[in-house]
Amino acid sequence: MTPDLMEEGARRASAYAQHAERNRTESGGRAAGFSRPVVPGEVDTAHGRILYLEDVNVSFDGFQAIKGLSLDIAPGELRCIIGPNGAGKTTMMDIITGKTRPDSGTVFFGSTIDLLRYKEADIAQMGIGRKFQKPTVFEMLTVYENLELALKTDKGVKASVFFQPDSEASDRLAQVLHTIHLADSVNQLAGTLSHGQKQWLEIGMLLMQDPKLLLLDEPVAGMTDEETARTAELFLTLKGQHSLMVVEHDMSFIRTISEKVTVLHEGSVLAEGTLDQVQANERVIEVYLGR
C-alpha cells in the first residue's frame, strides 16, 4: 500500500465512524464522487524492460547492504527473487519504490523514467505497486470499501465519506473482486477475513490502480497450504497483464510460479536462471539452499 493510501484510509475510517454516529440511516446516503481511477502515464518498454537497475549501491552506517546490484525485468514477466536473510531483497524494493535512496547507481522504470528523481508517493502513482509482508487492510471497513478506497489517490480532492464509483470503476471493482476470490465476501468487514484473504484484499487494492509493476515481499508467509496454492494461481493470472517481482523463501511456491529466478546474496546477484539452474549452482547451494 502507498503511504498516501494508508493515511487516507485512517482518515476515512474515522470520518466514516463519525458520519455513522451522526447519521444513522439504513440507506447509507450518497454524496458527490471524490475520485477517478488513476490513469498512470505511459511507461516506455520499447527496449524490452520495465525495470532496470545498474550498479546500485547502498550503505547503512558503513555496512554495504546493496553492492553493485544490476538486474532488469521484462514487461509482463513474473520474476522470483530468493536469497538468504539479509541479502538485500527488501532493501532493493525500498530503492525501487523510493523509500531508500541509493548512494550510487541507476534505477529506471521503462527506458525513460529515472526513478531516483522521484519521491515514494510519485513512484506509486506512476504504476509501481508494493505489497509489504504484513497485510495492511482497513479492518473496520468492508472488502468493498477497502477496494473502493484504493481508487482514491487524487491529492487535493476533497474526500467525502461516500462516493459513487463510475461505471468503469465499478467494472474494475467487480473484476478485481473476482480475481482475488473475494466476490462472496464483498460486504464482510476486512477484520474478519483470514490472513490469506487479507493478503489477497491488499493485492486487490493495488490492482485497483492497475499498476504496471507489482512488488510483493514474502506474500505467502503465514498462509495455509491451500491459500498458498490459490496465491500461486492468482500470480499466474496477473502475469502478462502486469510485471511482478516476488520475493519468497517458500521454494515449493517458487517452483509453482517461477520462470526466471534471481538469487541475491550480500547485496548483489549471485545467480540467475530457471529454478533448476540456480538450485544446481554450487555457490547458491553453499550460501542459501544447502543450509
Ligand X SMILES: Nc1ncnc2c1ncn2[C@@H]1O[C@H](COP(=O)(O)OP(=O)(O)OP(=O)(O)O)[C@@H](O)[C@H]1O
Give residues in contact with ligand X (CB under 6 A). 60, 65, 83, 85-91
Report in angstroms how near the CB of residue 287 gets to Mg ion at its nearest: 16
- CB of 154 or CB of 218, closer to ligand X: 218
> Do the beta carbons of residue 241 and residue 157 sit within 8 Å?
no
Amino acid identity for residue 88 in this structure: G
With contacts defined by CB under 5 A, how many residues of the chain interact with Mg ion? 2
Report in angstroms how near the CB of residue 87 gets to ligand X at its nearest: 4
Choosing among Mg ion, ligand X, none, which partner's interface includes residue 244 (Cβ < 5 to 8 Å by kind)?
none
What does the angle CA 96 – CA 94 – CA 231 come to, to the nearest 5 degrees?
Answer: 85
Binding mask 86-125 for Mg ion (x = CB under 5 A): ---xx-----------------------------------
Report in angstroms how near the CB of residue 65 gets to ligand X at its nearest: 3
Which of 98, 84, 95 has the alpha carbon at shortest distance from 54? 95
Structure letter (DSSP) for residue 36: -
Query: What are the residues facing 38 on neighbouring strands?
Result: none
> Do the beta carbons of residue 153 and residue 209 sit within 8 Å?
yes
- CB of 152 or CB of 265, closer to ligand X: 265
Measured between alpha carbons, how far is residue 120 from residues 27, 100, 265 in Å?
A: 38, 9, 25
- CB of 249 or CB of 255, closer to ligand X: 249
Choosing among Mg ion, ligand X, none, which partner's interface includes residue 38 (Cβ < 5 to 8 Å by kind)?
none
- CB of 141 or CB of 215, closer to Mg ion: 215
Report in angstroms how near the CB of residue 88 gets to Mg ion at its nearest: 8
- CB of 45 or CB of 91, closer to ligand X: 91
Greatest distance between any 2 Cα atoms in the chain: 66
Report in angstroms how near the CB of residue 285 gets to ligand X at its nearest: 18
> Do the beta carbons of residue 176 and residue 3 sit within 8 Å?
no
Report in angstroms how near the CB of residue 9 gets to ligand X at its nearest: 25
Choosing among Mg ion, ligand X, none, which partner's interface includes residue 87 (Cβ < 5 to 8 Å by kind)?
ligand X
Among 4-12, 52-60, 85-93, 185-193, the segment contacting Mg ion (CB under 5 A): 85-93
CA distance 244 to 34: 30
Amino acid identity for residue 241 in this structure: Q
Measured between alpha carbons, how far is residue 60 from residues 57, 93, 103 in Å?
A: 10, 16, 10
CA distance 144 to 162: 12
Report in angstroms how near the CB of residue 85 gets to ligand X at its nearest: 3
Which of 206, 15, 245 has the alpha carbon at shortest distance from 124? 206
- CB of 68 or CB of 86, closer to Mg ion: 86
SS3 154: coil
- CB of 148 or CB of 248, closer to ligand X: 248
Choosing among ligand X, Mg ion, none, which partner's interface includes residue 85 (Cβ < 5 to 8 Å by kind)?
ligand X
Instruction: Enter the C-alpha cell of residue 284.
Output: 547458491
The residues binding Mg ion (CB under 5 A) are 89-90
